[in-house]
Amino acid sequence: MNRWMAMAVVTAMAGAAAAAPFNPADVPAEVKWFAHLDVDQLRTTQVGKAVLEQLTTEEANRKFAALQAVLGFDPRGKDLLGLTVCGVGGRSAAIIRGRFDTARLVTLLKANDGYQEAVQEGYAIHSWIDEDKAKKQGADKARMYGAFHASGAAVLSEQLDTVAHVLAVMDGKKAATAAQPPAVSGATPVLVGVIEDLAGTDPKNAALKLARGATIVMGEAGDRVKCRIALETVDAATASNLMKVADGMKSAMLLKGPEDPRAAMLAESASVMLEGTTVSVAMEMPAGEITKAIREEAAKKARAKSE
């Protein structure tokens, strides 16, 4: 089973659900990072609608028509609700919520030559070979694992025990994360994320090297896209230095106004705050400017492809 089809199958593995905001109870306590995209909420925003426009081109429609014919699933509609990814060290997992016929999906997975089923800690876990990955790294490193939770969510990982562990967390048998992303004023979150060990990711940006952890939340309210990023440092002195760096970056973006007006607009809206050992930056931009940028970039790619 190739990567495109395998990911489509696993993405569709979720049963019916009403909505998919971030749920801390899905995420294991020991993870060092997580991110969540509320796809259901994204569809209601101006930016989300502009993104979906790019998925209705003639080429995209052919691919999604094939996907729907096989799986009865189209993520551009209301079939895909939300996606959470999380991890620690070399281990990671994806938790998908949506609507689909799981029995049909299992039948498709069983058609894979490398299909296996295992039971771990009382959970039935399906596995298969990712053909694209197998071509590059060998079949022994290309096995994927997926399972269904009673809530209707699907869990995907490259490790059998990681899938079982996440399922146990979702059942309340193992501890869930206590980490919470910050709120964004007046907007329902669409994207949230937390990195508890930023140094472990070896960030290239000099400012990020001063931070210990980071949180981000983004949403759309009215005609404004709002974002808040918070960086946690080891002490107040480091936080003060980081705030100076953030202020300097804001000034640099403002100076680029003539050549990059959107960056200058974002910088103008930025509010840099210092609270103890935490530096946070709140920004916003008209949703219309972002949707315009999305369409311009899509048109640019289309022209390049036709040349």
- Per-residue pLDDT of 44-68, as tens digits, reads 999 999 998 888 888 888 887 877 7
The two tokens of residue 66 are 């094939």
pTM for this model (two decimals): 0.85
The two tokens of residue 248 are 């300097």
Predicted confidence at residue 71, as pLDDT, reads: 67
**Crossing angle (nearest 10°) for helices 287-306 and 46-53:** 10
The two tokens of residue 204 are 């290239």
**pLDDT category of residue 14 using cuts at 50, 70 and 90:** very low
- Per-residue pLDDT of 186-243, as tens digits, reads 888 999 999 988 877 777 777 777 788 999 999 999 899 999 999 999 899 999 999 9
Name residue 194's amino acid: V
CA dist 213 and 233 (Å) reads 7
Predicted confidence at residue 72, as pLDDT, reads: 66
> CA 147, 176, 213: angle at the middle one, nearest 5?
110
**pLDDT category of residue 289 using cuts at 50, 70 and 90:** very high
Name residue 161's amino acid: D
Does pLDDT of 10 surpass 50?
A: no
Closest C-alpha to 151, from 15, 59, 291, 252: 15
- The residues, any chain, with a CB within 8 Å of residue 226's CB and separated by 6 or more, are 184, 185, 186, 187, 218, 219, 220, 282, 283, 284
Predicted confidence at residue 307, as pLDDT, reads: 73
CA dist 295 and 161 (Å) reads 42
Does pLDDT of 13 surpass 60?
A: no
Please answer whether residues 233 and 210 qualify as being in contact, where contact means their C-beta atoms are separated by less than 8 angstroms.
yes
Predicted confidence at residue 216, as pLDDT, reads: 94
Does pLDDT of 99 surpass 60?
A: yes
Does pLDDT of 2 surpass 50?
A: no
**In the chain, where are the structural domains located?**
3-170, 188-293
* C-alpha to C-alpha distances, 6 to 9, 38, 110, 129, nearest whole angstrom: 5, 22, 12, 9
- Per-residue pLDDT of 129-138, as tens digits, reads 887 787 888 7
Count Cα atoms within 13 angstroms, Cβ side, for 297.
Answer: 10
Q: pLDDT averaged over the chain?
A: 85
* C-alpha to C-alpha distances, 13 to 103, 122, 155, 156, 303, nearest whole angstrom: 9, 19, 8, 10, 36
Predicted confidence at residue 219, as pLDDT, reads: 95
Does pLDDT of 9 surpass 60?
A: no
Name residue 121's amino acid: E
The residue-averaged pLDDT of 276-295 equals 93
